[in-house]
Structure 1
Amino acid sequence: MNDSPLDGLDARAIALAYLGFGTAGILGGELLLSTVLGSTPTPAAKVVGGLSFVAVSTAFVWALVARKDRRIERQQASVRSSLEHLRTVVAASPVPITAVTPEGRVTRWNDAATETFGWEREEVLGELIPYGASEGGENSESVEEIIRRTIAEDGLSNVAVERRRANGDHGEFRLSTAVIRDADGEVSEIVGVLVDVTAQQRRERRLREFEQAVEQAGHAIYLTTPDGEITYVNPAFEETTGYDAAEVIGEPASILSSGEMPETYYERLWRAVQSGETWQERIIDRRKGGELYTAIQTIAPIESNGDIDGYVAIQSDVTESELTRQRLGVLNRMFRHNLRNRMNVIEGYAELIRQNEAAVADEELADAAEAIVEAAGDLASLSEKAQTVSDALESEGSPRRVSTLVEDAVSRAESAYPEATMRTDIETGLRERVDSRVGAALDELIANALKHGGETVHIDVCRAEDDDSKLIVRVADDGPGIPDEEWRVIKRGEETPLEHGTGMGLWLVHWVVKKAGGSMELEPSSLGGTAVMLKLPVGSERPRAWFPNDD
């Protein structure tokens, strides 16, 4: 908008106009006075002087107007440059910048808006703004409402909105708006700057979920600096150690040291974690009250751009389970040792009774002696079975070809039961390996089938149809089958006074297969008896920590 009618003219035009009007005014005025009014003509010198003044004034006016034109031109050039820079900045902005009319039609749309939302500039210019609010979203304020609020509040700042992209996905943004008005103060455009915070919001939600998981974890968790200074502990840490968070934050992790671990333990630990490895070992630490506790401790470095920013330590308190295992181990060894010794005594005396002349003559006494010998033998066998269970569960398994395990088990069974009929059917080309401890389970299943079943045992081995990582080993017999109540006890994982197994054989199979990472099922046998199906993982896959009383 021009300030005056003269603003549209340049300095030369204004100066010439001024000169023309001035000259015409002097000469015309002189002519009018002399001819109309009859006045004495003005001396020529004065007329020349007046014309000279007009000429000088014209030059002065020309200089002033020319100076103003130059200033205006510089200002206009500056404005044009600023506008060009602004357009460049808007175009090159890494965040979406858009502008719309008060009716919501797009007037500006930069490349970042295209990259973020998926619509090209040519598609949207002059059209209603394409990205709508996400239906049902927490921040689903409509475009119309945003425009209304922007005009009412003369701009918005950092408003959370959810918007739909061209591909149908929804994003989360922080929106700031500004109002552009024309010379009459009317709203001509509304400019919006949108910062895409979708990934940031997703990370923040994951961090909140992680924090909640750590806070509610049943294991003691604490964080440290690279030097081992504790920076965070979770509630389970406080419960396990007896220390409140305020008591240990800022303290070295060695506050838990019990003095029971050798210095070499900590030297190996630090070498491992400082080199970026994860450390997992058993440790004995001390609670605030002075009591020792045993934990399985895992320590992992927290890395950022290749640098270690600190460490996270997780402790699983196994004090009670270790004591339980120790007690069971001692009781088991004492039971087996004493039982074996006392059974030898009973067998010896029973044999003396059976060989005594009076016992030979007394049939009832001879039968009693025979029953004692048989019962002693059963108890001795039970002791040996307990030893087998202990050896199988306490040993470390290793991958072994399943066909070899089956063949070895069959060979041992044929030696023990020479009159039995054994048949194996191993899938052609099957060379996969399973946990070597499965051999003890196969021995027990075959022996149980021949001892309590019939005279025929079939063993089939094949890949699982529904899972390539599993193998099926099926042991079938032609006997009377496993009683339902005994199978229920095994599946439940515990015995009761009213429901319990008759022996340890099935428990051995159940525990070994479980520790090998597999499962056991019962099904009818094509031979007319029972088939026990073992589903085993290929290789040495198995739980890292498992105890026989686990579900």
Structure 2
Amino acid sequence: MTVRQGSFDEPGPDSEATRILPLLTGDGDQRLLVNWVESHEVYTLVSPDEQVSSADFDCCILDGDALKTHGETLRERERKREAESVLLPCLLLLPEADISVISTDQGEIADGVVFETVDEVVSMPIKKAELEWRTKALLRLRSQSLKLDRKQQQLRKFKQAADAAGHAIYITALDGTIEYVNHAFEEMTGYASSEALGETPQMLDSGEMSPAYFDRLWDTISGGEVWKEEIINQRKDNSVYHAFQTIAPVMNEHGEPIKFVALQSDITQRVEAEHRLERFKDIVERVGDPIMLQDCDGRFCLVNEALVEYTGHTKQELLGKTEYAFMDEESAARIEARKQQVLTQEHAVQYTISPSFSTVESATFSTIRYPYYGEEGTIEGTIAICRDITGLQTRENQLQVIDRVLRHNLRNNMTTIGMFAEKIAAANSGETATDAERIHATSQRINRTVEKERKITKFLTEQPGERTVDLVTIVESVCGRISDKYPAANISCDLPDACAVHATSTLEQAFIELLENAVVHSDKKEPSVEVQLLANSGNSTLHVADDGPGIPEMDRKVLTHGTAIEQLYHGSGLGLWLAHLIVTYSDGTVTFSENEPRGSVVTIQFLS
């Protein structure tokens, strides 16, 4: 059946939705009952011609014959309403002497027949006043059943919502005994519902909270107020978790707490992230180099104390500003260009800059600027880490000066020695000529060593930038140059159509050192060197195989592991060390193996 409960707030004589179905078989009685219903503005007459199985009514008034006709239908409807705890009252009117409809053949009242169908039996004739109060009484019972049904529905909805909630919910009695927990509570704490019911929240006590915390908690909720605080609890497996807990008292009609409802949100990850953030912030503040976060317009969003010291401005003065606020305009413009490069290309850039500040005359910084991405994964600015290399640059400049002076003097002196040695060899014979030739060869070797040292010093002090290079073009060029320089050598190249890697701009020098080393140190009149370049997905490999006497163990360590320079003992070692440095700075690796049947194979691998 369909009952319009939404409009039936208070069934009874004061309710507009109270619908009465009259089912009296006597025409006169039926007419009187219909007139009685229609005389009440608060009652609505339901047509007796409607199907009883589907009629929408709040109370049915019937007689014995109608009960015989519609009894089974009414009983079926009542059974359906019992499942929802909603009463659909029926008032049976019987002549005082006629109880056959409600008695058995033994003369007993047939409870199973009547009281499962009707709720009250009244003898006729009945006065209007009695009919009035009996109808009101039945409608009050229906109103109470509907109220109870609404509360039960609300309770069911609450339980469904609580069980589906992603936060832990539990309900306790006034003494703290747990009476209900939802599924999220079980998942968060590790305790099953059967383990938690009858216990108190003390089962979750981690020992991290002070007695004063719990005293304040109980004082708050016992006084009828809501408690909201973070708490550290302990799961069944003894692991600790952080939760934000809200506990609210459930009040009765007198405003007194009768139960407590608690909701917990697991904030362990958030708390741990905050702790990590605090540690990171502490580290950033302790770093002596300026670190800053800037938005896409270049405005400072985060700065550390090191930048404050260099600029002479407070953090409050710097936030929201750009470098133009404290730096010379030329340097600020260069930095702005670098920011735009990072924002456009979305990869880190490294640069050196020497700005002027109000607090110091000048300083030189080696800066790495990274793209900064927000929570949505879109770029929202840049992060810069600036290392003060003022002193380092001064030392490098001094080193370069000393290097140039020593190299210039040494090379000039060695050239002079070589010239005198040539004259002595030309003017003499025998051992004197032989010694002079050795002196000349030694001076040339020293000059070659000086030249390699110059290249190494330049590489270490200048550190050329990285870029995408074409290995095929570089290898072809180097093989051609070495073949022209040493025409007796047989150099073959096996190269792919294309092979690009990200490497330093001096990568070509590394290949020159490897090929020249293979040719110069060969013990054959016509040395052979095979160069093979393989372009694979994710990495590229270059093999340099020779048929010489092999690379000495010391030189192998120099080439593959970058043995310390003080251990180098001849010019070839310096060249191999330079090759190792260049390949390493290009994110490559160098390995060595024996060639068959004779010689060495040097393999370089690069990330593509």
TM-score (norm 2): 0.54
Q: Match for 1:160 among 208, 231, 235? A: 231
Task: Give SS of 1:316's match.
Answer: strand
Q: Match for 2:270 among 171, 195, 200? A: 200
**Is the CA contact (8 Å cut-off) linking 1:160 and 1:174 kept in structure 2?**
yes
Query: Map of 1:65-76 to 2, 5 A cutoff?
Result: none
- In structure 1, the gaps of 5 or more residues are 1-9, 12-72, 540-551
Work out the CA distance in 1 between the residues paired with 2:508 and 2:594: 23
Task: Give SS of 1:285's match.
Answer: coil
**Is the CA contact (8 Å cut-off) linking 1:151 and 1:179 kept in structure 2?**
no
What's the CA shift string for 1:511-535, capped at 9, x where partnerless? 221222212234444344444332x
1:375 maps to amino acid: T
Work out the CA distance in 2 between the residues paired with 1:79 and 1:433: 79
1:323 Cα offset (Å): 2.6
**Is the CA contact (8 Å cut-off) linking 1:90 and 1:97 kept in structure 2?**
no
**Residues 232 and 243 (structure 1 numbering): CA distance in 2 closer, same or farther, change over 3 Å?**
farther
**Is the CA contact (8 Å cut-off) linking 2:556 and 2:592 kept in structure 1?**
no
Give the structure 1 partner of residue 394 of structure 2. Answer: 323
Q: Match for 1:446 among 515, 520, 529? A: 515
2:280 maps to amino acid: F
Give the structure 1 partner of residue 564 of structure 2. Answer: 494
Q: Match for 2:438 among 364, 368, 371? A: 371
**Percent of counterpart pairs with the same letter?**
22
Give the structure 2 partner of residue 532 of structure 1. Answer: 602
1:447 Cα offset (Å): 1.9
1:363 maps to amino acid: G
Work out the CA distance in 2 between the residues paired with 1:320 and 1:378: 35
Give the structure 1 partner of residue 74 of structure 2. Answer: none
Query: Map of 1:104-503 to 2, 5 A cutoff?
Result: 107=180, 109=182, 128=196, 154=222, 157-158=228-229, 160-162=231-233, 172-178=242-248, 189-217=259-287, 219-222=289-292, 233-234=303-304, 236-237=306-307, 241=310, 257=326, 259=328, 261=330, 264-265=333-334, 268=337, 281-286=351-356, 290-297=360-367, 298=369, 313-355=384-426, 359-360=427-428, 362-386=429-453, 389=456, 398-422=467-491, 431-434=498-501, 435=503, 437-455=506-524, 456-459=527-530, 461=532, 468-469=538-539, 471=541, 473-484=543-554, 487=557, 491=561, 493-496=563-566, 499-503=567-571
**Is the CA contact (8 Å cut-off) linking 2:284 and 2:304 kept in structure 1?**
yes
Work out the CA distance in 1 between the residues paired with 2:492 and 2:382: 57
1:150 Cα offset (Å): 6.7
**Is the CA contact (8 Å cut-off) linking 1:223 and 1:233 kept in structure 2?**
yes
**Is the CA contact (8 Å cut-off) linking 1:273 and 1:301 kept in structure 2?**
no
1:117 Cα offset (Å): 6.7
What's the CA shift string for 1:196-217, capped at 9, x where partnerless? 4345334423422432342344
Work out the CA distance in 2 between the residues paired with 1:310 and 1:440: 38
Work out the CA distance in 1 between the residues paired with 2:204 and 2:306: 38
Q: Which moved more, 1:250-259 or 1:365-374?
A: 250-259
**Residues 342 and 131 (structure 1 numbering): CA distance in 2 closer, same or farther, change over 3 Å?**
farther
**Is the CA contact (8 Å cut-off) linking 1:99 and 1:108 kept in structure 2?**
yes
Work out the CA distance in 2 between the residues paired with 1:343 and 1:131: 94
Work out the CA distance in 2 between the residues paired with 1:246 and 1:264: 22
Work out the CA distance in 1 between the residues paired with 2:507 and 2:198: 65
1:479 Cα offset (Å): 0.7
1:533 maps to amino acid: T
TM-score (norm 1): 0.58
2:439 maps to amino acid: I
Work out the CA distance in 2 between the residues paired with 1:501 and 1:137: 70
**Residues 292 and 126 (structure 1 numbering): CA distance in 2 closer, same or farther, change over 3 Å?**
closer
Work out the CA distance in 2 between the residues paired with 1:288 and 1:259: 9
RMSD (Å) for aligned C-alpha atoms:
6.0
Q: Which moved more, 1:244-253 or 1:346-355?
A: 244-253
1:99 maps to amino acid: I
1:318 maps to amino acid: I
